[in-house]
C-alpha cells in the first residue's frame, strides 16, 4: 500500500479552495503504488487524483513531470492532466508535502496482459516518444549508470543476504555495462517506468498512461527494453517470445527502430533489469517489514539479468535487423 501521509478532510477542503474543481464529497487513500501517496477524490464537479510526492521525487523536478503531462495530453497521448489552481499554479502543498491534483483516468491495469496488449503497449510507447518531441524542458535520467552505482554502493554490503553471490554478479554487470553502454543512439523523452500498473485499458484498448515521475531524457530504445522486462516475462521467469515479438512489432509500426538500436537491445535490457533490481534491492533492505508499502521482489529482476546476460542476438527477443 502506498499512503505514506494521512490527510484530513479539513486539509483537503482548504486545498480545494485554491482550485476551481468543486467542493469535496468524498476521498480515500489508494492502496496501489509504491512511490507516492495517492488519494481518489470526488468533488461536486468530477473525480480527481491527488498525489503527494514522497521518497524519490525531487520537488525541483515537478515542473518537468507536470509540464510533460500537459504537453503529451495536448499532443494526443491519453494521460492525466494536472489541474491548475486559480492562481495558475499546478503545485500545491498539503501535510508539508508537495502535491498536485490531476484528472482521473478511466480504465484498469492488467494483471495478466496478453500478446495483443503488448502490441498496443509497443504502439503507445512509440506514440509517446514521438509526442514528447518538442517538449521544452529536459531532465537527465537520475537512474542511469551513475545512479545505479550510487544505489549499489548503499546496497552492496548486504546484497548477499538476498542471494549468495549476488555481489559478484552485480559488480560484473556494472563493469560490463560501464564499458559497453551505447552513447550514440537516438534520444528523447522516455517514460522510464512503463510497467503494466502504469497503463490502463478499457474494452481491450489502451485508455491511458500514468505515473510520469521517472520520465527523463535518455535513449528511446532503453524505454523499449524496460517494456520488454516489464511486460514480456512470465511469473516463472521465462521470456515470452510471442509477447516480445508483439511489443516490438507494435513499437515499429509507429517508430521503426534503427539497426543500431536493435543491436543494442540485449545490453539495454540488461541495464534496465539492473536498474529495477537495484531500486528493489535497496527498498528490500531499507524499508522495515510491516511498513504499509509494497516491497517488490529484487529476485525477479536478478533472474531477468541472468536471462539477458546469455542473449547472443536481438532476434531472441523477437526482432530481426532488416
Ligand X SMILES: N[C@@H](CCO)C(=O)O
CA angle 240, 190, 206 (to 5 degrees): 60
- Using CB under 6 A, which of 129, 280, 304, 308 touches ligand X? 280
34 sits near ligand X (criterion: CB under 6 A): yes
Partner from ligand ATP, ligand X, none binding residue 231, C-beta < 5-8 Å depending on class: none
Per CB under 6 A, does 276 bind ligand X? yes
Q: How far apart are CA 173 and CA 179, in angstroms?
A: 10
In contact, 158 and 192? CB cutoff 8 Å: no
Is residue 223 close enough to count as binding ligand X by CB under 6 A?
Answer: no
Select the residue interacting with ligand ATP from 1, 24, 105, 241 (CB under 6 A).
Answer: 105
Stretch that binds ligand ATP, among 87-95, 102-110, 120-128, 307-315 (CB under 6 A): 102-110
Give least dist CB 320 to ligand ATP, A. Answer: 32
Q: Which of 27, 109, 195, 282 binds ligand X (CB under 6 A)?
A: 195
**Binding footprint of ligand ATP, residue count (CB under 6 A):** 19
* Cβ closest to ligand ATP, residue 94 vs residue 102: 102
34 binds ligand ATP (CB under 6 A): yes
Rule CB under 6 A: which residues touch ligand X? 34-35, 193, 195, 276, 279-280, 296
Rule CB under 6 A: which residues touch ligand ATP? 2, 30, 32-36, 38, 49, 80, 102, 104-105, 193, 197-198, 210-211, 213
Amino acid at each position: 500500500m502506498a499512503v505514506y501521509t494521512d490527510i484530513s478532510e479539513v486539509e483537503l477542503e482548504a486545498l480545494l479552495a485554491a482550485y476551481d474543481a468543486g467542493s469535496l464529497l468524498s476521498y480515500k487513500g489508494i492502496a496501489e503504488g509504491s512511490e507516492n501517496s495517492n488519494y481518489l477524490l470526488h468533488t461536486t464537479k468530477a473525480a480527481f487524483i491527488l498525489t503527494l510526492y514522497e521518497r524519490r521525487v525531487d520537488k525541483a523536478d515537478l515542473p518537468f513531470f507536470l509540464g510533460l503531462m500537459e504537453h503529451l495530453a495536448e499532443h494526443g497521448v491519453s494521460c492525466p492532466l494536472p489541474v491548475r489552481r486559480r492562481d495558475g499554479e499546478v503545485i500545491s502543498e498539503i501535510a508539508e508535502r508537495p502535491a498536485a491534483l490531476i484528472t482521473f483516468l478511466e480504465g484498469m491495469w492488467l494483471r495478466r496482459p496478453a500478446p495483443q496488449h503488448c502490441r498496443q503497449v509497443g504502439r503507445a510507447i512509440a506514440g509517446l516518444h514521438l509526442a514528447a518531441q518538442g517538449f521544452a524542458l529536459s531532465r537527465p535520467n537520475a537512474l542511469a549508470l551513475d545512479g545505479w552505482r550510487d544505489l549499489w554502493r548503499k546496497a552492496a554490503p548486504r546484497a548477499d543476504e538476498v542471494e549468495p553471490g549476488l555481489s559478484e554478479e552485480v559488480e560484473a554487470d556494472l563493469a560490463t555495462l560501464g564499458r559497453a553502454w551505447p552513447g550514440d543512439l537516438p534520444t528523447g523523452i522516455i517514460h522510464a517506468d512503463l510497467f503494466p500498473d502504469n497503463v490502463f485499458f478499457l474494452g481491450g484498448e489502451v485508455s491511458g498512461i500514468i505515473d510520469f515521475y521517472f520520465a527523463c531524457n535518455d535513449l528511446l530504445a532503453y524505454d523499449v527494453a524496460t517494456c520488454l522486462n516489464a511486460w514480456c516475462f512470465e511469473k516463472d521467469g521465462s521470456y515470452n517470445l510471442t509477447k516480445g515479438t508483439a511489443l516490438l512489432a507494435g513499437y515499429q509500426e509507429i517508430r521503426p527502430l534503427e539497426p543500431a538500436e536493435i543491436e543494442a537491445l540485449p545490453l539495454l535490457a540488461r541495464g534496465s533489469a539492473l536498474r529495477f533490481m537495484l531500486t528493489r534491492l535497496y527498498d528490500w533492505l531499507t524499508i522495515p517489514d510491516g511498513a504499509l508499502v509494497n516491497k517488490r521482489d529484487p529476485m525477479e529482476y536478478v533472474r531477468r539479468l541472468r536471462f539477458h546476460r546469455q542473449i547472443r542476438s536481438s532476434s531472441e527477443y523477437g526482432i530481426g535487423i532488416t
